[in-house]
Amino acid sequence: MSKTILVIDDTESLRTLVKSYLTQEGFRVATAANGREGLFVARQERPDLIILDLMMPELGGFDFIKAYAREGDAPIIILTARIEESDKVLGLELGADDYLTKPFSMRELAARVRAVLRRADKAGGNGPAALLRAGDLALDRERREVIVDGSSVDLTPSEFDLLATFLSAPGRVFSRLELLDKLQGDAYEGYERTIDVHIRNLRTKIEPDPRNPRYIVTVYGIGYRLAAEAISA
């Protein structure tokens, strides 16, 4: 069955272009002209992925992400005409999985869509070793569930896949570029800062004290690894 993509953008010509291209690529595409309409369409269509413009009337992109997080969990790719790093970081911190800066090519957009969907599918349980553990933390690929100290924790597909990467290779140090490649594939160059944002969000959700991480530790000048203390716990 074709994956359903919801495109939310207030520019009609862009919505039409993206819908036409992604339809040719084999996706089913629904559209909305603003965040408020997007919430309504998302409830009806149950999309597998959302492409979201940031600057819109009647509920902008940032407010949409906050509202949608209360009722859905489809991965989100944000679109922005603004090049400030703060906009990209804020979108990722709110729960978006990737971003594209306008103008962009339809080919790159399709590559990003496929990469994020692959990541979400992996998080859903199509990889090896369904159950992974470290200390009081357990990750179940099949149920797409993470338990920390007996309580369920909600992660975005990117956060889930990062955590699964660390748990699958205890003690191994991953560079930011390696982690970015695992999230996005090698179809295009990524933005290393994205990894730092996802790690910060992940620590906030799984660490007792995010400022002194127990599970995912920084290896300065290189990247991140699963802490030895967590492995032996």
Report whether pLDDT(127) > 50. no
Q: Are residues 76 and 149 in the same domain?
A: no
Distances (CA, A) of 54 to 34, 46, 57, 58, 104: 10, 21, 10, 11, 15
Q: Are residues 8 and 78 in the same domain?
A: yes
**Where does a domain end: 95, 121, 147?**
121
Average pLDDT over residues 214-228: 89
Range of the domain at 83: 4-121
Q: What is the spatial distance between Cα 39 and Cα 64, in angstroms, rounded to a whole number?
A: 7
Q: Are residues 9 and 111 in the same domain?
A: yes
**Where does a domain end: 121, 142, 161?**
121
Q: Are residues 141 and 194 in the same domain?
A: yes
Q: What does pTM read for this prediction?
A: 0.61
Q: What is the spatial distance between Cα 140 and Cα 129, in angstroms, rounded to a whole number?
A: 9
Q: Are residues 172 and 219 in the same domain?
A: yes
Q: Are residues 67 and 133 in the same domain?
A: no
Report whether pLDDT(219) > 50. yes
At 19, which CATH number?
A: 3.40.50.2300
Whole-number pLDDT of residue 120: 75
Q: Are residues 102 and 141 in the same domain?
A: no
**Where does a domain end: 93, 121, 149?**
121
Q: Are residues 11 and 115 in the same domain?
A: yes
Q: Are residues 67 and 111 in the same domain?
A: yes
Taking all residues of the chain, what is their mean pLDDT, rounded to a whole number? 85
Number of domains in the chain: 2
* pLDDT tens digits, one per residue of 174-203: 988 888 877 765 434 456 678 888 999 999
Q: Are residues 227 and 203 in the same domain?
A: yes
Whole-number pLDDT of residue 5: 96
Q: Are residues 48 and 112 in the same domain?
A: yes
Q: Which residues sit opposite 223 in a β-bridge?
A: 175, 219
